[in-house]
Structure 1
Amino acid sequence: MKNFRIVFVLMLLLSTTEIYSQLSAPDPEAVYGGRINAFSIIQTSGSTSQIFISTESANSIFYADVTTSGSPVFSAFSVMPGVGADDGYGSGIRTMAADANSGFLFFINNNNLYSTHYSSSTVNTIYSGGVSGMTVYGGYLFFTEADHLRWGSINSTTGAFTEDVNSPLTMPSALGTAQLVVNPSNLKLYLTDTGVSPMTLYKSSSDYNALNGTTTFGTLSTGSLVGAIVWNGFGCGLDGTIMYNGDTGGEKKVAHSIDDGSSWTTTSTGISGVSGPNFAFQTSGSDYIVYFAKCYATFNTSTKAFGSWAEFGNTGMETHPNDGVVAADPTNTSIVYLTTDQGIGASINGGATIFEIDDGMEAVQVKDFDMNSGKSDAWLAAKSGIRYVSGYGSTPIWSTAIFPNGDGSPYYSAEMVKNNPYSAFVGNLRVYKTQNKGNTWTQVFTAESAPYNYPGVGSRVEAIEVFSGDTNLVVCGYTIAEPSDSDSLQGGFFYSTDGGSSWNQQLLKASSGVYDADVNDIILTTEGGSPVAYIGVTYDLSIAISTRARSVYRAEWNGSSWSVRNDFDGSYTSTGSPITATIIDMHVTQTGDTLLACGTDAGTNHPILYYKILSGANLWTPFTTTGFPSSAGRAGKAVSFGNDTVYCAVDNEIYMMHFSGTSWTTGYTYPVGTEINVLYFDDLLVGTGTGIYGQKNDANLPVEMISFTSSILDDNVILNWATATEINNYGFEIQRSAYSDQRTADWEKIGFVKGSGNSMRTNQYTFVDKPKERESVKYRLKQIDNDGSFKYSNTVEVSFNLPVEFKLEQNYPNPFNPATKIRYSIPLVETQSSEAAQNVLLKVY
């Protein structure tokens, strides 16, 4: 009998293997902007101002200094120390006002009144509960709660508020959402609510700085205001004229009164869009300019009439004024501030031309991200526009916000066409396509048009995907409003077979109609040569159970039609039972063979995460819940995979685990209230409600491994590994599993190798095993610190089923990158010498 010795070596040559670790601290990308709720501007010297902005992000309030003389200089924004992402004030601060004397800012959050200063992290509680409106004027603070007006003085040095001895005063009735304005002409305090006429409008009998126990509030008439108009903003002009701005849903209107409401004059501006929440005024000779929303006009103080209305001037689609708050600079009458689709803009010529001043404003609410396989170019969708980045792997260059065809609605989805950065689809209420890197755009679809007639408010394109095998096949998914809004309308799944030129709907749950399922995400795969779409949807408890879509639908395209099934039915799950859930995010691995889906369980409303391996059992299987949050009211918001590690965002936390792992680790915790909407592996990009951040899986590594290899010698398996550095390393427990599916593997300890403690040099380790199993065996290392904490390495697999012929397969992914894999096999060759080994050398150039 001849004896043969075969040496088969499997080495991890192209990438380092790292012991499991926490993620590094977030490194922000240079993407600035965001949606703004409120402004406040104060004068800090004869030629400087300070601007405060509140945003729809966890970074609640920012501030910046402005030099207003000569050529104005707008400094970058910084987060207010006490009202940042880690302070929990959230995205809903819509009323605030700063005191010019002390520099303190006062703001309302959740009906509580607070104050803070840009130089301190301290936030002072002024009043708790029921606060509905406030303003600051001339060193006094005024605010309403229930049917009371409270007021007092602000210390010019410390910013401390002292309530007046006569405060509070009782008003004739409570104001739900109050606007308080001091008239600069007669010095009286005006209080009003907003909405459809007649609104409540009060005027104090005393000057703002002389309120006392005998002060009364007279009711002014608003009954003659046009009732069909929704009045949203109130103000007092520099000459004492009182004003409301409103809209009819398509055109802005202004009503003004020069006799305290006895009569009103309504003016049509001719400017489209909705009204704004406030007014701003700036002197212009003996007259003054009135600003609101995105328009302005001169008010003639002699004729008491408006001149022609104009829209803020912009020079391109990157800087587009919207209908938000406005403010006038107190030290330079040519400077005005306004909200834009990207964030905040300014004009130094009274509004004729505007430009962005967003630098430092980390409030971009990232909703989607897609990058080419070369990791050099990407498209990003955010509530404040579309961004494009080039040179990401070397020197990233981010574009300013792009608004296709001037469409300033929030964007929720972005998809690059088959690694081609020139071609992309993006979606808000509508779907747009570019074929020249965003220089021009074409609207290719909107479900707001017939025959679908989706509502223009609340509808959004949450997902767009292009099939890599045929880029003519494009799919998108609509959601209508939120389940919390108790809407009865559902979105749908739409597709195009001609690259986006024409579209049709494929029903998933409904048997007829157009309102079918709220789609949250879509992934496309190839199975059996056919395109297959997996569609994650919302399980909406607010609608009838018979019409509720749920979990994940699978739709297979045969070239002319779709075959649809619910892929979370019992026949397609590892438990054999149907799964009812809301699936928020999905991911397909780079190799295309494994799917991930996360969301929230429909029963106890806790986070869930499933995987499906397209080969083999082909069933949706839950990951281990050990170390994974299970409390009600939380949800898996985003999922990704890279370097054999699964990443899942649950609210503000990122959890991570090797695919073969048995327990989850908290990789990083963002401040409470942070929305994590996107995870994209490269190392890891995290898209949140404050921007996009890079994080590496290499922070505070106790052990840095540089290789982990296995080889077969006769009947023995030889494991070799090397470390570059070690800190407090007790040693390595060697674990083995003979299961073919490592995700459900039972690992057993087979040995231990002592570590080197603390070392900054390369250390080599070896372990020899003689397994009884003669097919496929997997190994991993459990690295243990001196304090008992531990982390797992990647796995290596050894196969005793040797091939009978030489075979070298195509590398994947292709084109080649540092994560490329090449599968090959070598035959068992008999030689004249039983001691001769058959070795293969694979060189990569």
Structure 2
Amino acid sequence: MKKLYLFLSLFIIVSTSKADWVHLTSFPSSNAEDILEKNGVLYAGASGSGVYVSYNNGANWVQRNNGLTTTRATTIQSMAYLSTGLFIATTDGIFKSTDEGLNWTAKNNGIQIGPGAIYYFAYSVFEDAGALYAGTFNAIYKSTNDGDNWTPVTAIIDHNDFCAFNKYNNMILAGTSGNHTPVIYSTNAGANWVNMQLNGGFPTGAFCIYSEPGKIYVGTALGMYYSTNNGANFVNRSVGLGPDPYVFSIIKYGNVLFSGTNAWVYKSTNEGLTWDTVTFSGQTFQDVNKVLISNNRLYAAAYTGLWYRNLSEIITGVENPSGGIPVEYKLLQNYPNPFNPVTKIEYQIPRESHVMIRVYDFTGKEVQTLVNESKISGSYAVEFNASQLSSGVYFYKLEAAGFSSTKKMTMIK
């Protein structure tokens, strides 16, 4: 999707630094679109050559394309490791693997090619409360049976380009890089969608959305926008990002924000008020499509391949999200309990892990996914908003690195 925004002048050489980015020359493709980590395994998606897997932090890669039979299917837009397996969004639609990418199955039933396109074109896949959402060229689609069937939940319009999803409180946020309202949200599982306004409206193109309790970050075609009041108002925080910044990826490590842009990688220690480059010497970057933190490294998936920097070379004295480093995985009792309709759930992660926190009703049906992402070691809190649910007993479950813990809570309206 970012290819629509390439510029011929994006190759930039920056000042010399003692520490430097390492180019993973073992990665076979020159164009990396996405990178993610699950249980210590790295997955990378490329444009035109499909999916690659590494079991040794990127030192070696194996191609995993069985079932991706067309060039369109091997043109990866994004990847997501969801509760039932690994999903990829490609220019030939949605595919799923349950064996670390060894085999892929198409999941496109119900997705329309639609106006303005001659083939499936998917940008993103997202999971919430047991349902899947797919962002495509022309609409958002929803599936309640693991992608076997899809139903459009937005109008089918040429060039919507829904390329990003995120969950914030009870809102599903969706970003589009197309020609329409860049951010929309739903509070009723996709049944209805509302435009999210920024003073005068968002600029064209919302490529990524990142959130944490009380904060929403949106990467756009005019830099980063930031909200601390549930999206009611946003402010632009792009000082230092350079001219005409396109922000394609945002992540956070402790109190440090990292952004991947159309020029290079930046960091901020003040919620984006100012940005500094994560510099490198004698190399070129172009369109940093994704940044990832894994195994004490900062990875960059870019139009010029895969790169990494050791975090110790970039930041020192990172503020832990809450207090010292925990010594064990721990799920705490929510408070208040009973609650109406919002409660807070705290948990502790002793080392970097992919964390899942889900909420279930008394029948065992999943009603909401609160956390589904990699977390560094630290103590965290997440809010559960049950305003759309009935009174009763619910269970919340933490899963991380083989650890599992479940607790009960009660909502009384």
**TMscore range, shorter length:** 0.5 to 0.7
Any idea what SS the aligned residue of 2:146 has? coil
Shift of 1:676: 1.6
Aligned length: 319
Q: Which has the higher contact order (CA 8 A, sep 6+)?
A: 2
Out of 54, 61, 65, the residue aligned to residue 402 of structure 1 is 65
Q: How many angstroms apart in 1 are the aligned matches of 2:253 and 2:165?
A: 17
Q: How many angstroms apart in 1 are the aligned matches of 2:255 and 2:80?
A: 25
In the alignment, residue 387 of structure 1 is paired with which amino acid?
V
Matches within 5 A, 1:691-710: 691-699=305-313, 705=317
Out of 455, 459, 472, the residue aligned to residue 117 of structure 2 is 455
Matches within 5 A, 1:359-378: 363=30, 365-372=31-38, 374=39, 376-378=40-42
Shift of 1:693: 1.2
The superposition leaves residues 518-564 of structure 1 with CA deviations (integer Å, 9 ceiling, x where unpaired) of: 22422231524xxx322212353xxxxxxxx1221112334xx5221
Counterpart of 2:5? none
Out of 200, 203, 210, the residue aligned to residue 578 of structure 1 is 200
Quick one: structure 1 residues 390 and 435, their matched pair in 2 at CA, closer, same or farther if it must change by over 3 Å?
Answer: same
Quick one: structure 1 residues 386 and 656, their matched pair in 2 at CA, closer, same or farther if it must change by over 3 Å?
Answer: same
Shift of 1:578: 2.9
Counterpart of 2:235? 622
| Kept after mapping to 2: 8 A contact 1:492/1:505 | yes
Counterpart of 1:391? 55
Counterpart of 2:45? 381
Matches within 5 A, 1:404-553: 404-409=67-72, 410-418=75-83, 422-445=85-108, 452=114, 455-456=117-118, 460-467=121-128, 469-470=129-130, 473-479=131-137, 491-507=138-154, 510=155, 514-525=156-167, 527-528=169-170, 532-540=171-179, 549-553=180-184
The superposition leaves residues 416-460 of structure 1 with CA deviations (integer Å, 9 ceiling, x where unpaired) of: 113x6x54344222211122223332211067757x366336x62
Shift of 1:381: 1.8
Out of 811, 835, 838, the residue aligned to residue 348 of structure 2 is 811
Counterpart of 1:243? none
Quick one: structure 1 residues 447 and 516, their matched pair in 2 at CA, closer, same or farther if it must change by over 3 Å?
Answer: farther
TM-score, normalised to structure 2, is 0.65
Counterpart of 1:332? none
The superposition leaves residues 379-428 of structure 1 with CA deviations (integer Å, 9 ceiling, x where unpaired) of: 322113333435355x865222525342222221211113x6x5434422
| Kept after mapping to 2: 8 A contact 1:652/1:672 | no
Any idea what SS the aligned residue of 1:579 has? coil
Any idea what SS the aligned residue of 1:412 has? strand
Counterpart of 1:680? 292
Q: How many angstroms apart in 2 are the aligned matches of 1:387 and 1:504?
A: 27
Quick one: structure 1 residues 428 and 707, their matched pair in 2 at CA, closer, same or farther if it must change by over 3 Å?
Answer: closer
**Residue 60 of structure 2 corresponds to residue 29 of structure 1:** no
| Kept after mapping to 1: 8 A contact 2:76/2:89 | yes
Shift of 1:818: 5.2
Counterpart of 1:609? 224
Shift of 1:700: 7.6
| Kept after mapping to 1: 8 A contact 2:35/2:45 | yes
Shift of 1:638: 2.6
Q: How many angstroms apart in 2 are the aligned matches of 1:539 and 1:407?
A: 25
In the alignment, residue 377 of structure 1 is paired with which amino acid?
V
Q: Which has the higher Rg, Structure 1 or Structure 2?
A: 1
Matches within 5 A, 1:217-366: 363=30, 365-366=31-32
Q: How many angstroms apart in 1 are the aligned matches of 2:23 and 2:176?
A: 31
| Kept after mapping to 2: 8 A contact 1:627/1:664 | yes
Out of 625, 638, 650, the residue aligned to residue 249 of structure 2 is 638
The unaligned stretches of length 5 or more in structure 1 are: 1-21, 35-362, 480-490, 541-548, 601-606, 712-806, 824-845
Any idea what SS the aligned residue of 2:187 has? strand
Q: How many angstroms apart in 1 are the aligned matches of 2:27 and 2:375?
A: 31
Shift of 1:656: 1.4
Matches within 5 A, 1:119-130: none
Q: How many angstroms apart in 1 are the aligned matches of 2:18 and 2:205?
A: 25
**Residue 124 of structure 2 corresponds to residue 587 of structure 1:** no
Matches within 5 A, 1:12-27: 24-27=19-22
Q: How many angstroms apart in 2 are the aligned matches of 1:474 and 1:694?
A: 31
| Kept after mapping to 2: 8 A contact 1:29/1:691 | yes
Quick one: structure 1 residues 641 and 379, their matched pair in 2 at CA, closer, same or farther if it must change by over 3 Å?
Answer: same
Quick one: structure 1 residues 664 and 517, their matched pair in 2 at CA, closer, same or farther if it must change by over 3 Å?
Answer: same
TM-score, normalised to structure 1, is 0.34
Quick one: structure 1 residues 620 and 648, their matched pair in 2 at CA, closer, same or farther if it must change by over 3 Å?
Answer: farther
Q: CA RMSD in A?
A: 3.7
| Kept after mapping to 1: 8 A contact 2:257/2:272 | no
| Kept after mapping to 2: 8 A contact 1:412/1:462 | yes
**Residue 276 of structure 2 corresponds to residue 658 of structure 1:** no
Shift of 1:821: 0.7
Percent same amino acid among aligned pairs?
Answer: 11
Shift of 1:626: 3.2
Q: How many angstroms apart in 1 are the aligned matches of 2:345 and 2:97?
A: 40
Q: How many angstroms apart in 1 are the aligned matches of 2:345 and 2:188?
A: 32
Shift of 1:504: 1.1
Counterpart of 2:339? none
**Residue 219 of structure 2 corresponds to residue 598 of structure 1:** yes
Q: How many angstroms apart in 2 are the aligned matches of 1:23 and 1:649?
A: 22
Counterpart of 1:820? 378
Q: How many angstroms apart in 2 are the aligned matches of 1:809 and 1:675?
A: 36
Quick one: structure 1 residues 367 and 822, their matched pair in 2 at CA, closer, same or farther if it must change by over 3 Å?
Answer: closer
Out of 559, 562, 572, the residue aligned to residue 191 of structure 2 is 562
In the alignment, residue 28 of structure 1 is paired with which amino acid?
H
The unaligned stretches of length 5 or more in structure 2 are: 1-16, 324-343, 357-373, 382-413
